[in-house]
Amino acid sequence: MKKVKIHQDGRGTIAVVWFIALSLIVISVTMINPRFIWLPIVILMGFMMAWILFFFRVPVRGNIYGKNVVTSVADGQVVIVEKVYEPEYFKCEVMQVSVYMSFFNVHVNYWPIDGENTYYKYHPGKYFLAWMPKASELNEHASLAVRNECGEVFFKQMAGTFARRIVTYDCIGEQVEKATQCGIIKFGSRIDMYLPLTAKINVEVGDEVRACESVIAKL
């Protein structure tokens, strides 16, 4: 049985949610009558306490080997597969593959290929719904790139309406390994992956993908 741990960058949020939930439970039980009024509050707070642990889980994932194999950065649903002009890093036409993470997906992000971390930049911005097309340019996001002898992948950790904190493990110039953590986005969010036009895309809009274990493309 695979072990699941709690992400270290979610522990502060968990502590706050648990403190508020437990406080409301104590107040409800001791100060509210009759029972049918406070019981739903207790149940709701218990659900919130369990959900916040579930949200910040870090499952053990496998790895699909191959220098040219690009795996998903995140869990979620593929919402965009199209040719676009990418102005920040590639500065040319590339293939964009976007994965939307719901409240129930794992929000830990992973490197998509083995190679050198060649780029990192944080962009402050708005908080539009993560699935909206304009979120890619206007929302708060962090941009990263990784390169090896087979090619390179540029991707963005996009904040959504409820995501106000992006954590990125910046290691420019260092060698990174596919399926190891590169960061986490708190709450609803999206990953935009940009690949060369020569890459063979392996997913379609509507596909459900898993970080580390779903092949997005081959370089």
119 vs 35: CA distance, rounded Å: 57
189: annotated active-site residue: yes
Cis peptide leading into residue 34 (ω within 30°)? yes
Supply 172's token pair.
């420019």
Supply 83's token pair.
């040719």
Is residue 202 within 8 Å of residue 218, measured between CB atoms? yes
Q: CA-CA distances (angstroms) from residue 104 to 47, 85, 201?
A: 13, 31, 26
Q: 149: burial class by Cβ within 10 Å (0-12, 13-18, 19+)?
A: exposed
Is residue 29 within 8 Å of residue 45, measured between CB atoms? no
Q: Which of 98, 136, 143, 189 is catalytic?
A: 189
Q: What is the DSSP letter of 139?
A: B
Write down the residue that tokens 């590639």 correspond to. Answer: 90
**Which residues are designated catalytic?**
189
